[in-house]
Every structure is written in structure tokens, then in C-alpha cells.
Structure 1
Amino acid sequence: MNILFIGLGNMGAPMAAHLASAGHSLTVANRSPAKAAQWLASNQGQALATPSTLPVQTEAVILCVSRDEDVEEWLIDNGIINQLKPGALIVDHSTTSAGLAERMAAKASENGVYFCDVPVSGGQQGAQNGQLSLMAGCDSNAYERLVDLTAPYTKAIAHMGDPGCGQKTKMVNQICVAGLIQSLAEGIHFAQESGLDPKKVMELVGQGAASSWQLINRHQTMIDGDYDHGFAVSLMHKDLQICLHEAKAEGVSLPITEIVDSYYQQLESGGNGNKDTSSLLLRLQQRE
């Protein structure tokens, strides 16, 4: 397919590379042109000359950006959504509000275009290895094409419902992850303060009921105090705010999520917004 891929950050760059390796024809774009140039130095494709003019044969637009405003800027302000031909796909891998996905889907449908909100889970490592889990909210008529298109970087995908349902599923993911990371941070901190070997403890409990992806993949970097990698605190705070806003609208109580989000706000206020989400342990250590 002829694809426009927007957003070449830690997640988007390897995802776009998987598509190029699979034989798709890619045009790439990024808020910072330097990232597009860097990607093109090692991958086949071309840079988007101007958002106001798409390549004529564009069949799909894939976004992997940060916020609702970014999606609206590319699709609405730059006019991309109105340049696509009927039947084209817009695949948004960003984590945004469900309301945005619903609005974009309604706008796209005016031109016979399918908007699919398809947030991902698996982190930078999953993107690099082509092992992401995808949560799809889209018209059922677009789902099979979506599966084929995203196959180069997908481990698992499921159709969760109409547009907006993918984002709501990602909210469940972030709610669960936030609680897991805080519990892991407290467990490691307790082990350290109790005179135990935290590495030995984590390796053992990681083979039992306490195991999780976070424990397996993050306990050693947390013990080492290495937080210059992975999903940033500022982005997690943004995601949890989306969760809490949606929960309030639905009349749902998320007490643990509120607490953990306040901890991420503390980290961000302390200049740690770019550190990995596992830096919740750093907050506990700093409070001693």
C-alpha cells in the first residue's frame, strides 16, 4: 500500500520501518523534520513535502503522535482528512481521548474514509521487535484491511467495537499498568529497606503469582536507578488524565489511578517528566 506515516518517535520510527521492510511504499512526516531525515537515512521512502498536499495515491494514513491536539492538527488543520479518497484508512496509534476518535471518525465518514483508533501496548521494545498488541475501534468493514496493514508490527489485535472503543480499551491498559508499577516500586523499596537482595527477591517472586511484564522487564533497571528509557512520566500522566476524565463522565471510581497519577505529577513537577514510568521507585527513595 501507499502509506503516509506521521510520527517517528520511539514507537513510530520502528513501526514505520517494519512497514517499509514488508514492501509498503512509505511517505513519512514528523513535527521535527530532522527525525524524518534520520529515518530515511536507513529506510526506503520519501519525506512529505507539505501536509497540504498528499501523494496522489495515498491509501492509508497512520499516526503515532502524542496528544489529541496533535491528531487534530495533522488531520484537520492541515487538511489531510479531506484529501483522502473514499475507502482510504486512517489508523491512529496515538493514545488519545475516546471523544477525539469519535469526532474524527464522524468527520472522515463524510468523505467515505474509515478512521480507526488503534492504540498499542508493548512499549518501545515491542515496537522494535514487531510484537505490539493493538486495540482496534473501527467500522467492521475496515477491520480486515486494518489487520493486514498493521501485521508487520503486530503480535495480537482485536476489534473492540466502534471508533472510540480502542481508546477506552487502552485506558483499561493504562489503569492496570499504573497500579502494577506502583506496587512493583513499593515491593522493591521494601526489599531494599529490609536488607534483602532486591534482585534475588524479584527473580524469585517473578516466577510466581506476583509476576508481570513490568516486573520481568523493569525490576533490574529500577534497582540500578536507570530511568533514561521507555515510556515517559509526562506521557503517562497525560494518559491517566484521559482515563480519569472518561471515568468521571461515566460515573466510575478509580481511586488507585487517582493516587498513582498524583505521584506522576509529583515526579513531573520535580523535573523527572522525561524519565521512564518505573521511576515511581525514585519518588519513594527521595522521600526517605
Structure 2
Amino acid sequence: MAQVAFIGLGVMGFPMAGHLAAGGHDVTVYNRSAAKAEAWVAKHGGRAAATPRAAAEGQEFVFACVGNDDDLRSVTIGADGAFAGMAAGALFIDHTTASATVARELAAAADGKFGVLDAPVSGGQAGAENGRLTVMIGGGADDFARAKPVIGCYGANISHIGAAGAGQLAKMVNQICIAGAVQGLAEGLAFAQAAGLDPEAVIGAISKGAAQSWQMENRWKTMVSGTFDFGFAVDWMRKDLGICLEQAKETGARLPVTALVDQFYADVQAMGGRRWDTSSLIARLGASK
């Protein structure tokens, strides 16, 4: 059993922290909305702290899963931040999807006093609830080895990618690939419907061949029915793609399809779909019913 803190109890953090508690760890939680922390304690036990610093004090592992770079800085840096409460030799593990820049900032801020891993996840809310997340990690190899068994409470595929920032860069690759896959599936389904084909018959024929993807197997039905009130929100995808596009400017990488799909998601936002699932790209094609 480890002494752990979890900062950020959103749709991902709430169940992830729950898996840590179910795994036998002693968990202290912090959330910007105290009511969410209290609800977590009522469900899973443990304790709620009033500040990130208080949550981190005396802990071996401090986890975070918040919204963006600025949110991450607000819960780590400063008098009430987690870093002010962390003891020498502790380990900070960040599951936020953020920039590689902030990951490196935090590693530098630790200044060797404690370890820092950037560890964004993939698998969405369902993956968090089922404990089946993919975790991409940047940071020291020894810190990775120490953290892996604990992350295994909710991570099914846990990989060390490289030095600080490498986990965030790998997550960018993940989002770039997803953007292209969802747009391709949306266009394929729209084409099938326009041609008068039965989408179920088409997907049945192609889903076991070269066109197969997680998006195809898990999203085609809801895309055809026009059901998008679940899953990973368009607002968050645009945040992630913005990070990818900014990083591409720094490295000189070319992301023409990603930039185009980002604008398609802007169209979905304008349609009122800010909280729709990312598969709602098909809605802008006028194909779903």
C-alpha cells in the first residue's frame, strides 16, 4: 500500500483515483470544487484536502489530471501548489494532456528534489472507468519503473517513451492519428449513405480488413444515428489539436490534415456541438439521421 494523492476529479480523475483506492492505496484527493472531492470520499473513502499542497504533504506519489497547461501550473507551482508540499524522493505523475513545454517546466521546477513524470492517457472516460487506459510516459527510467505498478491500477498499456516531455509528444501523435481516422470514417459513412448502401452491411464487410480501426468498431453506429451526447468532447479535442499544431510550428513538422480537421471541429462547435463526442464530425456532412 502506498500513500498517494490525486489532484483533479473530473470525468477521468474521479474513476482513476477510485481504482487507486480499490487497489489498496491510501488516497487523499483534491479538487477545485470541494463538493466533488467530498463526493469521491463518500464513495471511496480516504480523505479530501483543502489545497494541492495539503494533499501532497507526506505522500509517496502525487497524481494530477486537470484541464490544461495553466490549470496544471495552478495546482503545482506557488505557495499552495503540490510542489510546495512534496517531500524529497516523492514522485509527481501528471495525467493531464498538456504541452511538452509545461512538462519540461515542471521537471525543471522539481530540481531533483523529487521525480516528475508526464503521463497523458488515452482511452477516454470508458477506459478510466474500466481501468483500461493506455499511458504514455516521459521522464526518468527509474521513476517510470517505480510508478508503473501503481499506475497499473487503471492502466492496461503503460509505456516509457523517453525523457521529460516525451509522454506529451506521444499523446500528440495519438490525437493526430485519431483526428484523421474519425474524419475518414465520417466521410466513408456519409458516402455510403449517399450511395444508398446499408451502413451496417458495409461496416460488416470492411471492419475486419485494412480499414479497421477502434473508431470504426466503436463509433459507426452512433455516427449513423446522430447520437453524440457522450465521450470525448469536441472542445477538448480542439484544445489537444491546438497543442499539436503549436508543437508542429516549433519542430517544423507539417500537419495539413490535422489543421483541416481542427477547422472542421470549429464548424461542429458553431453548430452547438462543443460538448458532443469527437465522432460528431459526421454531423457537418449532413449524413447522420
TM-score normalized with structure 2 length: 0.95
Matches within 5 A, 1:1-288: 1-54=2-55, 56-77=57-78, 78-110=80-112, 112-285=113-286
Deviation of 1:252 (Å): 0.9
Cα separation, 2, equivalents of 1:91 and 1:55: 12
Deviation of 1:215 (Å): 0.6
Cα separation, 2, equivalents of 1:233 and 1:56: 36
**1:173-223 deviations in whole A, cap 9, x for unaligned?**
000000000001111111111111112212221111111001111111111
Q: How many residue pairs end up in the alignment? A: 287
**Percent of aligned pairs sharing the same letter:** 47
Cα separation, 1, equivalents of 2:148 and 2:88: 19
Pairwise CA RMSD = 1.6
Q: Please list every run of 5 or more consecutive structure 2 residues that lacks an aligned counterpart in the other structure.
A: none
Deviation of 1:82 (Å): 2.1
Cα separation, 1, equivalents of 2:56 and 2:259: 44
Deviation of 1:129 (Å): 1.4
TM-score normalized with structure 1 length: 0.95
Cα separation, 1, equivalents of 2:101 and 2:56: 29
Answer with 179-188 or 119-128: which moved more: 119-128
Conserved in 1, the CA contact under 8 Å of 2:51 and 2:81? no
**1:207-264 deviations in whole A, cap 9, x for unaligned?**
1111100111111111121111111101100100100100111011110000000111
Cα separation, 2, equivalents of 1:265 and 1:42: 37
The alignment partner of 1:53 has SS state of helix
